[in-house]
Homo-oligomer: A and B are copies of this chain.
Amino acid sequence: MTDKNGNELGTQYLRVGDLARLTGKTVRAIHLYEELDLLQPATRSSGGFRLYSPAALERVRWIDLLQDMGFSLQEARTVLERWRDSEDGPEAMDELRALFGRKLEEMREQIRRKQQLEAELLEGLKYLETCRVCGESGAVDRCVDCAQPHDVEREPALLTGLKAAFHAPRRVVRPALVRVEDHAKP
């Protein structure tokens, strides 16, 4: 049995707030997906409230998945269109396979890159760890002046750009007199 809009009777409809809560999205995001033709309410209430079928939950979670994979919303829309086009023949399906194949390669590349960055962060942290020693030694309390060899051959990339100086106007945070008092050793 269906109503005049072709919707099944007896369906438990969701309101936009429910859909948002159950998917971790905001109402605004769901409105946006509708504008971009990624998702439509099954119907509207007499007062204009959007009413979604439970299938909308799967659709929103699917959009979220594609976004995590690095698809833009426009690309996600293209995927939906190709899927619908595949009703008319297998060419569109070939396109989809190629698209997902490219994404798989991208994903692997991103994993490799992030593993590099993980190593970079570890090196940077190791380097800064020796700064803690500087502070404790009491010899200097300005890490920037640290004379320690830092026990590392190559300076981590995380630090190289930090130290790069080109006479940028130094922001004065506290007046010099106060600063001296703050750090006087009792």
Q: Point out residues on A near B: beta carbons under 8 Å.
A: 5-7, 37, 39-42, 52-53, 55-56, 58-63, 65, 68-69, 79-81, 83-90, 93-94, 96-97, 100-101, 103-104, 107-108, 110-111, 113-115, 117-118, 120-122, 124-125, 128-129, 131-132, 134-135, 141-145, 157-158, 160-162, 164-171, 173-174, 179, 182-183
Query: What B residues does A97 contact at CB under 8 A?
Result: 125, 128-129, 132
Q: Which residues of the other chain, B, contact A161 by a CB distance below 8 angstroms? A: 58-63, 65
Say whether A143 contacts B90, CB under 8 Å.
Answer: yes
Residue numbers in B under 8 Å from A145 (CB-CB): 87
- A42 interface neighbour in B53, B108, B166, B182, Cβ under 8 Å: B166
Known: A40-B169, A86-B142, A87-B143. 18 other contacts (CB 8 A): A6-B167, A41-B166, A42-B166, A52-B166, A53-B166, A55-B165, A55-B166, A56-B166, A62-B158, A68-B117, A69-B121, A83-B144, A83-B162, A89-B183, A90-B132, A90-B135, A90-B143, A107-B121
CB-defined contacts of A88 to chain B, threshold 8 Å: 142, 173-174, 179, 182-183
Contact present for A87 and B169 (CB under 8 Å): no
Which label, helix, strand, loop or mixed, suits the secondary structure of the A interface?
helix
B115 and A128 form a contact (CB under 8 A): no
When chains A and B are docked, how far (Å) is the Cα of A116 from the Cα of B125? 27
